[in-house]
Amino acid sequence: MTPAFSVLLCLGTYWCFYSHSSYGWSKCSDPLKLVVTGLSAPPSLAVLPSSEVASGQSMTLQCRSELYYDWFTLCKDGKEISRRRTQSHGRGRQADFLAVNLTHDGTYQCYGFHSSSPYQWSSPSAPLVFLVSGTFSTSPESENKPSDAAALDYTVSNLVRLILAGLILVLLEVLLAEHWKSSMEPPVQGVFAEHSGQSSPQDRSEEGNE
């Protein structure tokens, strides 16, 4: 099993519970979603109708891609806040995130993914930074770096993370296997020789010398 494949098996949504006894369990925790990003080209994110907006005003953010993603998800400061099913538009797909209430500073990005692989996302779009002054701007890094280079950078960094996480999983599997093997071995018992009436050759030799 390759490290990358081991990581893909761990993707999904997780919850945890606790219990003081066998008669009841707590409420489930908040969901923890594990996704991998950077597996395909990033979509683009734009503000409609323009980048000028007053603080507190609702705006529309449009995510678009030439790749045929089934879904787009919108994130603010790295946290998913909404997702939309895409619609056909020209030679690609797009989704409009309506009535996004802009009340605080934040960085917005969108990702694309397919229904068959909901935890395997594309590289993120170029970030849109909303400032209290009421304007959107792209980050300096996204302006100075070509989109292809950005996609490659995200892909390489995520591949490194996948390999490291896979190696950690393999190490844990080895440790668990060793622990299980040691727990299955029977305890070492002492060997006791019963005393019999026959003397050993050494005892007979000592008696002859006397």
User: Does the pLDDT at position 70 exceed 90?
Assistant: yes
Number of domains into which the chain is organized = 1
**pLDDT tens for residues 86-123?**
999 888 999 999 866 666 678 999 999 999 988 899 99
Domain limits for position 57: 37-145
Asked whether residue 43 is domain-assigned, the answer is yes
CB contact set of 77 (below 8 Å; sequence gap of 6+): 106, 107
Write the Ramachandran bin of 20: left for phi over 0, alpha for psi from -120 to 50, otherwise beta: alpha
Asked whether residue 120 is domain-assigned, the answer is yes
Whether the Cβ atoms of residue 28 and residue 135 lie closer than 8 Å to each other: no
Asked whether residue 61 is domain-assigned, the answer is yes
Is residue 16 very low, low, confident or very high in pLDDT (cuts 50, 70, 90)?
A: confident
Asked whether residue 186 is domain-assigned, the answer is no
The pLDDT, as a whole number, for residue 202 is 54
Asked whether residue 125 is domain-assigned, the answer is yes
Residue 39: both structure tokens together: 């597996």
Asked whether residue 76 is domain-assigned, the answer is yes
Domain of 140, CATH number, reads 2.60.40.10
| pTM beyond 0.85 | no
Residue 171: both structure tokens together: 């190490």
